[in-house]
Every structure is written in structure tokens, then in C-alpha cells.
Structure 1
Amino acid sequence: MKKFLPSLLAALVLGLCALAVFSKKDNPAATTESQAFATPPREPWPHETGDIPASERATFGSLPNGLRYVIIPNSEPPKRVALRMHIDAGSLHEEDDQRGVAHFLEHMVFNGSRNFPDPKDLIPQMERLGIAFGAHANAYTSFDETVYMLDLPNLAEPTLQLAFTVMRDFADGALLKEEEIDKERGVILSEKNSRDSVGMRLMEQQFEFLIPDSLITHRFPIGTEEVIETAERERFTSYYEDYYIPSKMTFIVVGDIEVPAMEERIRETFSSLRNPEQAGEEPALGTVPRDTGFRAAVFADKEVPSDDVSLLKIAEAEVKRDTVATRLEKQPLTIAHAILSRRFDILAKKEDSPIRSGSASRGVWFQTLEFGSLDVTAAEGRWPEAVTVLEQEYRRALEHGFTQDEFDEIKAKLLNAYEQAVEQDETRPSPAVAMEVVSSINDLRTFSSPQEDLRIARLGFAELTPADCLEAFRAFWDTPDLTLVLTTAEETATTQEELLAAYRDSQKKAVAPPEEREQVDFAYQDFGPAGTVLSEEKVEDLDLTQLVLSNQVRVNFKRTDFQKNSVSLLARFGTGKMSQPRHLPGLDQLAGILLNGGGLGAHSEDELDRILAGRNVSAGFGIGETALILQGRTTPEDLERQLQLMCAYLTDPGFRAEALRQYRKALPDLYNQLRHDLSGAQAQMSQWLHGDDPRYVLPELEQALSYTIADVQQWLRPQLENSYLELSIVGDFEPEELRAALLKTFAALPPRPETPETDPSALQIAFPATPAEKTFTYQSKIPKAAAMVLWETQGMGENVSLTRRLNILADILGNRMREKIREELGATYSPQASSNPSESYPDFGYLFGFSIAKPEDLETINSIKLSLGETLAKEGATADELARALNPVLSQLEQIERDNGYWLQTVLAQSQRDPFRLNWARERNDDYKSITLEEINKLAARYLLPERAVRVRLEPEPDSAE
């Protein structure tokens, strides 16, 4: 059972990929407060019954009908607001003949509500005001909650009025017309199909074994095909009327707002909501297994990509109020699990280790079930040995506990996380704060400030010892009621016996206590004599600076206040995939793993992790099409250490054998996954789209396994040591402190070339000749496929203006696809269209339409996409369609300019190599605003023709599907 807790959390949530909703009566006329039935009593806010104060920034309130609200003024981003409506009900509240109705209701509000009775009205109205379907409007349904989200791009009265009207319609205004329910059934079935996987099916089997008498096992949010296909309208209205009631609602507002004005708007909008005479019953969640003793289970499927072994503990949860004491109670076990996870990480990298990875965790589900999970992923064919590792590391922790240096490392990391939350509190984005409030509501946890969280953490850490962690680990895990689970591809009649035997044999062997590790200092603090600045240019209109250092290293930096205490860095150098040896396809995969997991010459990756614990530094490599990329994120305090770390990776990368071992252990599982998953067909398609260029070819497994460290070094060392290098830095720093640190690090490196290496012949990629049709297959019993139409366009080059217009054209096509394929025909869940021009290859680009579907529907769906493209090419778009596609983009322009990532990735990166990127930033807003319908229609007429199209089918092989 691979990483059981995270897997469950992923399964808990069913989002709408765009917005989602619910339903009520045929004529849900607004009622007055005097008409409302008595308000059921609600539990107090957690901060009212505990000793942890709520954040001072938050205003908590409630209406007479029981609806609660939380309002938090927050200035990042400016002139915007995030709205959330939390419903304290999910799939667990369904009856047997309603399984899937809670999630189904998400979709239905868009299909007609009190103020938007025509199903075609709401989304276009939102788009005209700049509210993008998906980006600004979304929802999800879990087992025990439903959450609706609107992020408003401005505070204009029409936008606020629409948003609050929509939220009120969500609450009690859905019409739930029978014809719309029937039309949506196909969409829900398509979504169920798109989420279907061997992993999900095995999880359902595992739940049936582990918690057979729990309602959780029988209430996965997606529901059952029978209910989705046949549920009567009354089943929808019943759930809606029983659970979408003010006494189960909390409305959350976070943004650049005034509290009194928002309180008044909430009262005006929601006070007339009424509770039913009899609210829906709370579900009986069933029972948790007790006194099971030690047991083992095997779950097998030939499509499982890896062998995973888990040791599980399941118990009834003890629900406690959120207090300082209860938070401190959790600290020791949290640290113990983190230490054990680190031990698994270290063991996985040792020579001949039988495991690829491992983790330890504990969680509480729905205030009723406590779950502990120790997990390891085995190397191919070695799960019996992995059982031994799991059992012995579990027992080593149980018998001998944890060392002081292990404890200090995890303590430093956790404490640092709390400290950074305090430093960055002032500039947390409103949507993130809003979701934190949602999480606190569902977890029955006080919405406390980062400052209070840090105070409590320090209070615990001041007294905590490794012995306390051992005591907590024993209290939780020293029990006979454990379950050993193997998930594997092949099972024989004796597999379960072999699983138990491997565990029992391991128990007979003594385990030694862990050894204290020697403390080591960071070895890369002196790069020689400091360099100087050769030239400096201040780009006044963009408020950024460009340097050329004495060794020809280029530096671009921009100081911002968008995210307090955060600095992002990106170095581009070398030639990347452009120079990848053609006879070594896929070598870039090994290269990335060696660079990211190979540590440094003086420090292994694990040693680095220990040395840097508590410091805010990071380094991650990427293999770009025309450059190697080294990125990091830090704080002003750790900026110099961050620069030292990046220089260390440039001058002395480790290329360690432990990373090669990890690569070779992972490959068989990866290839097995590609063999049985849609992603494998997509990999084949990518190779074909790139003209079978070896740089985009996935080699045979045997060839990939044959690659060596020397192969990578021969390709990358010249790029690391002696190539044009441009470093860009954006964030909250003092320029003079940055300059001083740069001169001691990057400026002290050996000289670099003044110009980048180019090879025009390496930038030629041949898109398939059009028109064309192609099918790519994979082996799976899951009847999940994808339909795709691609229209050849061109690369970006310097012409970003064309790229922007193609993006708008793709959005218009995507809207037509959604309206026709999803809303009118109900044939697929989430059709999408996008433009994908290459920044590297001047003649390579395409605009595509993509959707998940059943294999038997692919031809029809692709024919519709082709027809929609041709109609758009011949007849053009309308002014309203342009506005609906363009306005959400225009509404984001100001916010994007307050994003460090935009300045780093789009503007500063390689801006000395490509000065036109600065003009992209200067002209961006005016260019978008100048887009005309005539321009869009000309592009449609040029590109969206059938003769420029490629039709692609991605599907299971016919003899492998169910």
C-alpha cells in the first residue's frame, strides 16, 4: 500500500477543474428571517473553548440563521478578494441511493439557478467581468466537506455583486431541472472514468479489508455508476435541502477589504437563508476494527508499477479540543516519524539497498479514525528484503529510539518552517489564507496566527528530548494490532505466507542502536579572491539592474516586496538538451538525477541535508532545451549561503554512485508504469511530434540501464565549468548586501565565455507532415483514453505578440469545446485547449484540443474538435467570445506583475543574452489590450484548418481493456 495516508488525501477531494455547485427547489424564493425554522445549535468556535487565541486579523461572526463567517483584511494581492463557502457535509452524508450525489451537485448549479436560469448564462457573465472559469472559480467535494471558491480579480461593484449573487445561488438557488441532470450524467461518468486507475481500484479493495465496517469504505466521493446513471431528481433535492443549510455553512472573505462593509454584504446576502424544519441527520460512521492482532494482506494487479510494503495501525481516534497541550502532545511523534522517514531516505541510497524510498506518518480522518503508516517501496523483485528493512527499522526505533543529532536536525527544520511563516505572514496571498481558514474549520482547529504557532512550537521544543520522542513512538506503535500490507504486480497461492514469513524471520534478528553522526561544516565557503563588477546598467523603467562581473558572469536582479523574506534565484548556462549526444537518448533523465541527487564532491546529499538543516537554502537542476538551469530559493539572512551552495554545484557536483543506484532502481518501475498508463502513450506521442529526434526518444530499458556517470560527465562537465552563465535574482534583499555576496561567490569563479554557444542546426525540429492521424497505445484494463487534435503553428522566437494572440485563440476554441462537447453533448468531463509554441525551436509549435474519454468515443470527439476548429477558421469568433477570453487575462496583468516568478522566469532570465525579453515586459499590458477580433480571426483562418491538423488517439490496446 504505497504511501497510504497521502494516497487517501488525494482521493478525498473531487474538484470540478473549474467551478462546481449544488441545487434546491424549483422556485426557491428568498425568505425572511421570520420565516426560518429554528436554528440548530452549532459547536463553539475552537478558540472559544481552548486556550489558543485566534489570529487578531480575523473577525468571526454569525447570523441569526446559524451561518458563520470569517473576514480577514489582507493586502496581497492588492484590490482583490478571495471568497470561500464551506459546507459541513460531503459524501459521508449520502444515503445508499445517493452515492455520488454530493459531488454531482457541484456541477448542477452551473446548469441553472435562481438568478442564472439559463445554463449557458453564468460562465459567460463571469468571464466578461474577468473571472476565469477554473482559474478564479473552483470547488471540491470530499468525504466530509464541500468547498466553493471564487477569487475576484477586482473590487468593482459589478464584480462583487455577481460573486455574492453566485454564492447565494450556490447556497439555495439551484433549479435542478431533470433535463439538465440527465445531460450532466455523461459528464460525471466521464469524470469518473478520467479518475479511474489501478491505484484507485486497489485502494478501494484495501479499504474494504482494513475498515470494512466504516462508512468511509462505501462513500468515495465520485460515487457509483448506478447512482450517477439513474438517481431520481428527488435524491438530489433531498440532499441539497438537508445539508446545504445555513447552520452548516461558513462564509470566508480574505482580501483588500474593509470588515464592516463585508459584514453588511454578508448579512444582506445570506440572512434570508433558512434552515429546514428537520435538518439532515449526521451519518453513523461505523466502527473501527479492534483487537485484530497481527495480520497480513496482499493486493495484486499486473499494472501496479512497483512493489510497496506498509505496516499500518488503525484505531479509533480520541478527539480532543485544540489547545496548547494537545498541540504539544503531537510534537514528539511528529519528530519521531520525520526521523524515521530520514532513515529510510538514507537507507534507500546505500549500495545494494532493497528499497527505493520510505516514509512514516500518522493522521486522523474525520475526527473518528486514527491511522499510522510506515511505508517502503521495494526495488524490482526485492519485496521480501524490503519487508526486512521495514520491520527492522520499525523495531530499531521502538527498541533504541533516536539520536540527539537526528533530533536536532528535524527540530531545526520544523522550527525554521514556523519562523519563516512568521516572516512571510505579511505578504501571504489571500487565496492561501482563505484555504488555511477552510482547513482549520474542517479540522476543528483554531485559526491561530503564525506568531502564536511559533510560540507554541518553541514552548514544546524548549523541553523536548529524543527520549520524549521514543516514548511517543512506543505509545503509538507498540501494539499487537498491526497490519502488514503488500501491493504487488503478481500474487501466487503462497505470497501471503511468504510475506508473513519474511516479517517473522526479520523479527528473530537483533537490531543495533542508531549511531550518532559526526557534525560537519559546509566545505564551500571560499572560492578564492573576490571579483569585481565590470559594468552595471540600471534599467529604470523596469526597476532592475544588470551587471557584468569581472569573470564575464552576467547578473540580473530586481528587489521586490511582493513576498516578504523570500529571494528566488535562477542561473542559466550551457546548452542543455541542444547538445545532448544523439546516440544516448534519455541521458537527460539520468543527468537530472545525478545533478539533483548526487550531492557535492565534499558532501553527500544526506550530509548536505544535515548540514543545512534550519537554513533556508535549496538548489535544483533542470535540463532545458537550450540551457542547464539551476534554481534556488532563500531568505535575506541566508542569501550568501545560497550563493555559496549554487557555486558549489557549478564547480564541484558530486556525480555520486548513490544517485546512479537510485536511478537504476527506479527505472524498471517507471517503465512498467509507462507500459500500463496513459502517460506511456503520451510519451510515444511526444517523440513522434518531435520528429523522432533522439533527444525526445525514450530508449529501451536495457539501454537506459547501461548509462554511466562518465556518460553524463562527458556531456555536462564542460557546460558546468566553462559556459556562458547568467544569474537572475528577484525578491526581498538589500542590493548592497547582495552585491557583496556576489563578489565573493559568482564573481570569484573562473572566467566564463562572453557569449553563449549556439548551434542553429540543433534547433531544427520537424513537426509531422499534416494532415495526419496517429494512434498510440498502452496496456491496461482501465477503459481510459484521450482524444487530441493538434494544429501546427510556429515557435515563439522574439514574436511574443503572436504567442499572446494564439493563447487567446486557444481560449476561444476551448470555450467552444466546453460548450459543445461537455455542456451540450455531455461527452467528456474537462475538454481543454492550449497553445504550445517552443521558445527554443523557431519553427516548432502547435495549438491543441485535448480531452479524456472512453476509447469508443475518441473518433467522434476528435471529429467535433476538428469541425469546431474549421468553423472558427471560416466564420471567425464573435466580439463577445473575444471579451470572454481576453478579460480574464487582462484582469490578471496587474497581479502577475506582483509575482516574483514572473519577473524571474519571464523577464530577467537570460535578459542579457536576449534583450528583447525586457521589451516583452514593457509592452505586455498595452499589447494585450490592443488585441482585436480581426487579428484573432486571421490567425484562426491561417492555422485552424483541417489540412494543418493532426488527429491523435491515445488508448489501451484492444485486448487489454476490460
Structure 2
Amino acid sequence: MKKMNLRLTSLTLLLVAFVFTANAQTKKNPENQSSGNVPSDNLPITPKVKIGKLSNGLTYYIQNNGKPEDKVELRLAIKAGSILETEDQLGLAHFMEHMNFNGTANFEKNELVDYLQGIGIEFGADLNAYTSFDETVYILPIPSDDPEKLDKGFQILNDWAGNALLTDKDIDEERGVVIEEYRTRLGAATRMQNKYLDKIAYKSQYAQRLPIGTKDNLENFKYESLRRFQDDWYRPDLMAVIAVGDLDVETLEQKIKDNFGGLTNPENPKPRPEFGSENHEGTFVAIEWDEEATASQVQIYYKDKGEPQKTKTVQDYRDNLVQGLFNQMINNRLREYSNKPNPPFIFGFSYHGQIIGNKEAYQSFAQTQETGQMDALRVLLEENERVKRYGFKASEFERAKKDNLARLENFYKNSDKLESNRIVNSYVQNFLRESPIPSEEWRYNYAKDVFPTISLSEVNALIAKYLHDDNRLVVMTGPKKDGLTKVTEQEVVDLLDEVKNADIKDYEDEAVRAELMPVKPAKGTVAKKEVNDEGELIETTTLTLSNGAKVTYKKTDFKNDEILMSAFSYGGSSLYPDDVFKEVVYANGGLTEAGIDGLKKNDMTKMMSGKIVNVRPSIGAYSENFNGSAAPKDFETMFQMIHLYFTKLDKDDEAFASFVSKQKAFLGNLESNPNISFQIALGKFLNEGNPRYSGLPSAEDLDNANYDLAYKKYQERFANAGDFHFYFVGNVDEAQIADLASTYIASLPATDKRETYKVPGFRPKTGSNEFIFNKGTEPKSQVSLQWSGETKYDADEARALNALAEALSIKLIEKLREEEGGVYGAGARGSISKIPYGSYNFSISFPCAPENVDKLIDASIAEVQKLIDEGPTAEDLDKVKKAKLLSRKDQLEQNRFWLNTIRSADYNDSDLDNVLEYEENVNALTRDDLQDVAKKYLSKGYLRAVLMPEK
């Protein structure tokens, strides 16, 4: 295994995952695309997929999908994870995953990785795998236009299905890598989680089977324990092969039959057990704190007492829509709290869904100030109780239906343009959890039909099922520090009782105006229209408006229901004097908290119900900017928001105070995390003497932020629309965009003044420097090696330096991970920038054990020296080229790529036509080119920065 980003499913993310709609589950039912008005109807399966089962029990899913071209996404899903481990196998489900990249029947150790890199498959970005409590999933995208590569892809999947060699030598060599992965997970979150996990998974094996396992077992397990896990659980009746991509179904089906039909199950296969969690009386309370915790959090679990109800019928699916509306409304209310003065939490949410294994719960979560946990808990409890007593309002209900339907419509309209890697996971989840797979058309049409039949009383009734005083858990986690008093269990219990009997008033839903911009501005005109028709690939149209503003658009058919937007004007905060910059730098982020044209943020949320649109202005270091997106039906709303952010951004002291409060809560303890503290300290070290260095703001910095001045400077920076260039990419209506641009952008105030950014006088430290930083109690270090400085920008050198970093990354993984077993991951990055001045940066970074720092740095520098002396190998350069070209092929069909490319061409004053020469330029790269930039940029001194644990 090489540059693998092998993810374990994070329990922490699982616990706080925000799900607006229920995690509906379904079994495989016959295809049925009727509207499903009969409640007993089986839930339909999309007709796009073919589902089958081999005689050995292996299930397969196949779909032909032409986006992107010439690629098939392959998955091997196995219903075997850490929950199946015996006491001598702790961590071995995950270890088994690693071993599938370290010697199989058809690929000796390192041959698999070498082959995949040789055909352009990038690790982490493309190839991946993960192990969770209940499953292991292998991920492999493969070219479909080359029969040999396609055959190899299925052969690799076949090897993963149970043909790992698991030699003593290979196992021992991988122990160090897995232990380094284990090391990366050490820290405050893990320490606190380990203390309350048994309360979440009460009397359950899940509490004893975290996928990463234990360090002791990873170091000492017997070879036979791993082989036994493979023999017991890597078998076809627990597997599914999923293939989605640009190839006909018949060919894919035959490949699956040929490669997997010969797999056999054990003579006496072990039953695949299911593990549950027991119910308990009363309320459990877990209050944990840690010196390195970065955030204070509150979680409430009202755990279901019965088994999860799988969604098998149309009526079940309707129930899930009802639950989705509930989730939408409760979270709209909680979002309002975070936008109020003195907010009780940074953000909060509630939903009903899975917590661990087969246990589901109604869950409420909030991230709070370090002293605000009890306030946040009170709000969560009171809002749940308020809904229980009074229910939701009809106005809330109508907005929720509009929002849900708008999202479903957006998914439906884009459904025929979905990339294969976005489709394939739905089939993985159908196999693993029986999750539903009706078509997006059916989902949208069914919701459109059934929403009018859902009553508010149905939604209101859910809260009575969710809330109960037993089988309940409250978890609080946060920082341990001087001056901070830990909440007690009795305080929590008392608050639970208090809220239950409190006098709570009904929710007031204040009405907002119906239109964002009731009166349209006086319309301008299009002064000039220019078409760049140097080829269909890069065809763009630029409108110069009567006020001087420019609008460039590219119409694409990559997505049916997507338009992306960006804009810039040179200048930004670089034009502020140093004293002004210091006063406003921490205030700029809070400017848009105020809303526009008298509409507060909560008002905006209400008024935008049913719309798919967002616009975000910002002031950067060297430009002022806009970014946003919209569905075509809401294109005009996007233009209206642009106009109002120019002319009618509100000034709201209470909204800014709310922003400051949330920033203090979010940033206040970030430096408790050793890695974050290291990066902050390193930034200060490199910028010593920089009069404009900001870094992470303190509470005092936020209190001193000058909102009045920041607002004034915002008005100045956005006073001249004529200096802006706007970009739109997507399903643009070419007849409409000229009218909208004339109405909402050409009408903006403008002058003939054209600005540029100011180049800073300060330069960060370069050359030979050493920075050692001690922080943290766990035995973990972080290494950062950096080469940087000024240079004249050269596009060819920039391309070569970037490729050099990718070639070095291949060697770092080979040396530091495969040979030394000293890291889980390592990589290099290289770039040359043009703005604000020509500069280069090249870096190497990796985490490791403290005792291995010097050895691994020496090994890294030795690899750098080889590049200087000899250049990369021809094989490594070929791998880099193929990965770049394969990635670019996909990018050319993405709106985001084109938006960034077109904007960057203007921002950096480069030729957009260069995109047509990308393949030629990449193929022209030589070993000498990379060696030349290595000599030029890596022969000078470098920064050696190391995080070490506290002594």
C-alpha cells in the first residue's frame, strides 16, 4: 500500500452527523416506477441498476453511466468489520484491509501499487478503502476503454476478496504502518470518547471493538489470528461487487461472473452475528474534559427502545418524508438561535437516526462556549419541549415542504448528469444496510404528490415518540483549564427536571416580506459583447456593461440544474494602511452576518425557502470577491443578491456581536490541540517582524475589532462595480443573462477608476532555519520541511515544480512507509505563485513517532538530494504524467474546474488558451526539467520545523 488515505469510519463524525432526511432503508424489491400512492406497495428500485446474485451468494450491482467517459467505478463491499473480531483479533479487520495492498495471489508486495500508479490511479484521491464496525469497503476506479486494464481491475478486486497472501514477513512489515495510523488518532477526542462510549453502546460489543484496535494487539497478535479473520469472513455470501461506469451492463456482468463465480464459501461457514445495545433505566450522564480539547460540546440521546424499522414499502418511505420535515423545522429553529445576540451555541441541530450498530436515537447536539454548556443544554431541552407542547407552525411547515421539494427537484434535474463515483455508494449502502434506491425521478414525483397529503399534526406527533426520561444519555465534553469549573452530573439532572416543568412559551414565527427586491433598479445596458471561439472547449462570452463591469459566462451541459458564480476586483485589504488593516482584519468576516436591505439572516432563510441559491461577498488580501451558486430557476435571485450586497449591506451591531461571540467560542481553545498550536506558532516564527501578520485572533483581538471601520471600508471596496469582473459557468440561459446583467450589475454605481493590489514589503523567513515546538502529551510528532523564497514566475517551471513534488511523494511513501514502516502517510507539495509577487514554495510533511523524527527527516532529505543529483526515475515521471492526464480528463467536464480556470486566467493575467495545451505540456515534461527545478529551488537551505511532545 502506498499513498493510501485509508479511512476508519469516525465514531465522532457518526455521532454528530447532520441528517435532514431520515436514513431510509429498503430491501431489494422488484422494479416498480409507479407513483406509489398505495401504502402497501413495495418501494421501487431505480430501473438503471441491474442487481443479481451468483450461485455462491455474491451479490452484484451494475449500472451503465457515461459520466465521466472511459471510467468504471468498482467497489467490493464486505459485511465484515471490527464488530466480528475475537479478543485476539482487536484491530485486525482494519489490518486485513491494509494487507490486501501488500501481497496477493496475483500481485507481490508493492507490485499492486506500482501497477495502479503506472496507469494513472492516484492514491487517496482515487484508490481508497475503509473499515468500520460492520463493514469493509474497497474502492477502485479503473479505465474502461482499455480491455487489459479493465481485466486487471477485476483481477485486483478478486484478490481483495480473499487472496491476500498474509506471509509472516509482510504482516510484520505492516505492523509499523498500522501503528502509525493508530498514533494519528491519539488525542483529546479519543481519550474522552473512550470514557463514555460504553454509555452510548450500553452493554454492547461495539464499545469494545473500535476499528483501529489496540496498540498492544497490533504489535503482538499472532499471524494465525489475522488469517483466521480472512478465512471466516472474507467469503462470497458476505460480499457485493458494484460496478458503475462507461461500459455496457452485459460486459460488466460477464466480468463479475468470470472473476467471482469461482469463489467458494467455507464448508461450515460461521453465522454472521448481529450485535445490539441494551436499553437502560433513567438517564446516563457523561461529563469529560481534557487539557487538549479544542471545543465544548453537548449531546443528548433519546435512544429508541426497539429495533430500527427498515423501510420496505411506499408507506414506510412516506413516514421518512414526515420525519425529514420534522428535522427541517427543528433545525430551522435551532439555526435561528445561533444568529441571535449572545447565542447559546455556535451551532446546534437535532435529528433522528443511527448512533451505533442497530441502535437509533433522537439526538440533539450543540457546540458551545467553554462556559456555555448548561445554557446550550437548556436551549436544546427547551426547544424539544416547546415542540412537544405546542407543535410547529403552519408557516414553518410550508417552508419546510418547499425546501425539501426544492432539494429533491435539484437532485432529479441533475440525475442524468451524476458522476459514477456519486452513484456507486448508494448501491454499496443498499447492500450493507438495505438503504433505498428508487430513482431520483420517483423520489421527486412521489414527494410532489404526497407532500400535500401530509398533515402538520402528523409531524408534530413525532416528538412525543422521540422524547422519554429513560434510556436517555447526556454527554458533555470540553477543555480542562485553570479557572474553568466542570459541570456536575447533579446540575445536569436538575436541569432536565427543571425544563420538564418550566413555563415555556410558544414559538413566534415572524412574517417576512415576500420578495427579496420588490423594486428593480434602473436598468443599464450591454455596451459590448465578445465571444472567445478559439474552440468549443473554451468558448466563453464576455459582456462589457455600460458601467464598465464585465460579465464572462460559459454555457455547459455538465449539470442541468447548476450555475456557479465568482467575481473579483483587485485591491482587497492590501490597500489599507497597516493601522487600518490591524483594526479591521478580524472584523471583516462578520460583515455579512448583518443581512441585506433590512432582512436579517434569519429573515433571509425564511424568505429563501424553496430556492437553491447562495451568494458570498468577501474582502481578501489582494481582491474583493463574490462566490455563489444557483439553480437556473433562481438565477435572477442570485443577481438580486449581488446587487444588494453592493448597495444595501446592513449594519447591525447585534449581529456583529453575535459573530464575535461565536468566534470566541470556536477559536478560544484551538491552540489546545498540539498540531494546531504548532501551525500557529510556526506562522508567527516565519512572519516575525511582519506588521500585517494576523494569525489566530485572541479574545482581546476580537473585542478590539473595529466593526464601524470595517463596514466603512467594505462600502469603499464595493463602491465601484465598474472595476469588477463576474464569471458564470453552468446551464446559463444566454438570452436571460444579458438582461439580468443589465438590470442588476450595469445599474450599480461605478467610476472609471481601475485599481490594482499593493505588493507587501515584508518577506517571510527563507533559507536554513530550525523551529522545534513542544506541545502535547501523546507520543506523536509532526514534521514540516519547507523551501521557499522569491522568484520570477515562469509557467514551465511552475508545472515542473508541481510534478517534482508528486514524484517525490511516490518516493517518500516507498521509503518512509514501505521500507521504514515509520509513517502512515507522507507527501510533498510544490508551487510557484505570481501574486502578490513571484514566489515558490516546496514542502514535505508527515506525522511520526518522536523517536523516529531525525531518521525520517534524514531519509527525506536523501530523497530530495537524489532528485537534485539525478532527477526522478523515468518510471516515476511516467506515473505522474498519467495521473495528471487522467485527472484532467475528468476535470474538463466539471463546472467548478472551468469557473476556476477562466477566473484564474484573468486574475493571473495568463492565456486561457493554455488549457488546450495541457496534455502537450504535461507530456513534454522531462526528467531534466524536474531535475533543473530541483537544483534551482531545493539546493538552498530549508526550514526544519518539528512538533515534539512536551518533555
What TM-score do you get using the length of structure 1 for normalisation? 0.91
Question: What is the distance in 2 between the residues matched to 1:367 and 1:457?
Answer: 29
- Work out whether residues 137 and 149 of structure 1, in 8 Å CA contact, stay in contact via their aligned partners in 2: yes
Question: What is the distance in 2 between the residues matched to 1:404 and 1:173?
Answer: 59
> Match for residue 363 of structure 2?
373
1:942–1:183 Cα change, 3 Å? same
> Match for residue 17 of structure 1?
none
Identify which of 703, 706, 711 aligns with 1:708. 706
> Match for residue 642 of structure 1?
638
- The answer as to 2:822 corresponding to 1:827 is yes
Identify which of 685, 695, 708 aligns with 1:688. 685
> Match for residue 54 of structure 1?
45
Look up the SS of the partner of 1:51 in the other structure.
coil
- The answer as to 2:321 corresponding to 1:337 is no
- The answer as to 2:716 corresponding to 1:718 is yes
> Match for residue 299 of structure 1?
288
- 348-357 or 543-552: which moved more? 348-357
Q: How does 1:751-790 map to 2 (within 5 A)?
A: 751-753=750-752, 755-760=754-759, 762=760, 764-778=761-775, 780-790=776-786
Deviation at 1:47, TM superposition (A): 4.9
Question: What is the distance in 2 between the residues matched to 1:215 and 1:587?
Answer: 55
> Match for residue 903 of structure 2?
909
Question: What is the distance in 2 between the residues matched to 1:561 and 1:692?
Answer: 50
> Match for residue 28 of structure 2?
45
- The answer as to 2:508 corresponding to 1:515 is yes
Q: How does 1:293-332 map to 2 (within 5 A)?
A: 293-315=282-304, 316-332=306-322
Which residue identity does 2:739 align to in structure 1?
A
- Work out whether residues 577 and 588 of structure 1, in 8 Å CA contact, stay in contact via their aligned partners in 2: no
> Match for residue 744 of structure 2?
745
Question: What is the distance in 2 between the residues matched to 1:168 and 1:247?
Answer: 14
Could you say what the CA RMSD is over the residues aligned between the two structures, in angstroms? 2.5
1:914–1:868 Cα change, 3 Å? closer
Which residue identity does 1:350 align to in structure 2?
K
Which residue identity does 2:195 align to in structure 1?
Q
Question: What is the distance in 2 between the residues matched to 1:463 and 1:590?
Answer: 49
Look up the SS of the partner of 1:618 in the other structure.
strand
- The answer as to 2:483 corresponding to 1:483 is no
- 936-945 or 331-340: which moved more? 331-340
Deviation at 1:784, TM superposition (A): 2.9
Question: What is the distance in 2 between the residues matched to 1:592 and 1:297?
Answer: 38
1:839–1:625 Cα change, 3 Å? farther
Identify which of 542, 563, 570 aligns with 1:567. 563
Identify which of 904, 916, 919 aligns with 1:922. 916
Identify which of 601, 608, 614 aligns with 2:610. 614
- The answer as to 2:173 corresponding to 1:183 is yes
> Match for residue 648 of structure 2?
652
Question: What is the distance in 1 between the residues matched to 2:577 and 2:270?
Answer: 65
- The answer as to 2:203 corresponding to 1:213 is yes
Question: What is the distance in 2 between the residues matched to 1:700 and 1:503?
Answer: 34
Look up the SS of the partner of 1:685 in the other structure.
helix
Q: How does 1:408-557 map to 2 (within 5 A)?
A: 408-490=398-480, 495-541=488-534, 542-557=538-553
- 527-536 or 143-152: which moved more? 527-536
Look up the SS of the partner of 2:739 in the other structure.
helix
| 1:570-590 Cα shifts (integer Å, max 9, x gaps) | 011252342355346777764
| 1:884-914 Cα shifts (integer Å, max 9, x gaps) | 11111112222211111111012x2164565
- 842-851 or 879-888: which moved more? 842-851
Question: What is the distance in 2 between the residues matched to 1:10 and 1:377?
Answer: 14
1:154–1:651 Cα change, 3 Å? farther
Look up the SS of the partner of 1:75 in the other structure.
coil
| 1:54-75 Cα shifts (integer Å, max 9, x gaps) | 1111111122111111111111
Q: How does 1:149-164 map to 2 (within 5 A)?
A: 149-164=139-154
> Match for residue 809 of structure 1?
804
- The answer as to 2:696 corresponding to 1:698 is yes
Question: What is the distance in 1 between the residues matched to 2:27 and 2:352?
Answer: 27
Look up the SS of the partner of 2:101 in the other structure.
helix
Deviation at 1:754, TM superposition (A): 5.6
- Work out whether residues 807 and 835 of structure 1, in 8 Å CA contact, stay in contact via their aligned partners in 2: yes
Which residue identity does 1:607 align to in structure 2?
D
- 582-591 or 593-602: which moved more? 582-591
Look up the SS of the partner of 2:869 in the other structure.
helix
| 1:663-682 Cα shifts (integer Å, max 9, x gaps) | 33332441312233412211
1:781–1:530 Cα change, 3 Å? same
- Work out whether residues 660 and 702 of structure 2, in 8 Å CA contact, stay in contact via their aligned partners in 1: no
| 1:430-487 Cα shifts (integer Å, max 9, x gaps) | 1110112212222212321001112332344121222211101112224544223322
Deviation at 1:924, TM superposition (A): 2.0
Which residue identity does 1:664 align to in structure 2?
S
1:735–1:516 Cα change, 3 Å? same
Question: What is the distance in 2 between the residues matched to 1:195 and 1:376?
Answer: 23
Question: What is the distance in 2 between the residues matched to 1:479 and 1:308?
Answer: 21
- Work out whether residues 111 and 120 of structure 1, in 8 Å CA contact, stay in contact via their aligned partners in 2: yes
| 1:745-770 Cα shifts (integer Å, max 9, x gaps) | 1111112446332323x2x5524231
1:97–1:321 Cα change, 3 Å? same
Identity of aligned residues (%): 24
> Match for residue 856 of structure 2?
861
Question: What is the distance in 1 between the residues matched to 2:487 and 2:539?
Answer: 69
- Work out whether residues 317 and 364 of structure 1, in 8 Å CA contact, stay in contact via their aligned partners in 2: no
> Match for residue 38 of structure 1?
none
- 316-325 or 236-245: which moved more? 316-325
Deviation at 1:298, TM superposition (A): 1.6
Which residue identity does 2:705 align to in structure 1?
Y
> Match for residue 92 of structure 2?
101
Look up the SS of the partner of 1:748 in the other structure.
coil
- Work out whether residues 339 and 406 of structure 1, in 8 Å CA contact, stay in contact via their aligned partners in 2: yes
- The answer as to 2:351 corresponding to 1:361 is yes
Question: What is the distance in 1 between the residues matched to 2:393 and 2:27?
Answer: 42
Question: What is the distance in 1 between the residues matched to 2:625 and 2:100?
Answer: 45
Deviation at 1:286, TM superposition (A): 4.3
Question: What is the distance in 1 between the residues matched to 2:239 and 2:425?
Answer: 15
Identify which of 846, 849, 853 aligns with 2:844. 849
- 621-630 or 421-430: which moved more? 621-630
Q: How does 1:862-881 map to 2 (within 5 A)?
A: 862-881=857-876
- The answer as to 2:636 corresponding to 1:665 is no
- Work out whether residues 417 and 559 of structure 2, in 8 Å CA contact, stay in contact via their aligned partners in 1: yes
Which residue identity does 1:311 align to in structure 2?
I
- Work out whether residues 531 and 748 of structure 1, in 8 Å CA contact, stay in contact via their aligned partners in 2: yes
Structure 1: unaligned runs, 5 residues or longer: 1-5, 14-42
Question: What is the distance in 2 between the residues matched to 1:47 and 1:75?
Answer: 25
Deviation at 1:608, TM superposition (A): 0.5
| 1:789-825 Cα shifts (integer Å, max 9, x gaps) | 112265684x333222111100111111000000001
Deviation at 1:558, TM superposition (A): 0.5
Structure 2: unaligned runs, 5 residues or longer: 1-8, 17-25, 32-39
- 47-56 or 584-593: which moved more? 584-593
- Work out whether residues 566 and 635 of structure 1, in 8 Å CA contact, stay in contact via their aligned partners in 2: yes
Identify which of 262, 266, 274 aligns with 1:276. 266
Look up the SS of the partner of 1:630 in the other structure.
strand
- Work out whether residues 516 and 640 of structure 2, in 8 Å CA contact, stay in contact via their aligned partners in 1: no
Deviation at 1:203, TM superposition (A): 2.1
Look up the SS of the partner of 2:69 in the other structure.
coil
- Work out whether residues 12 and 220 of structure 1, in 8 Å CA contact, stay in contact via their aligned partners in 2: no
- Work out whether residues 89 and 225 of structure 2, in 8 Å CA contact, stay in contact via their aligned partners in 1: yes
Question: What is the distance in 1 between the residues matched to 2:45 and 2:12?
Answer: 26
Which residue identity does 2:439 align to in structure 1?
S
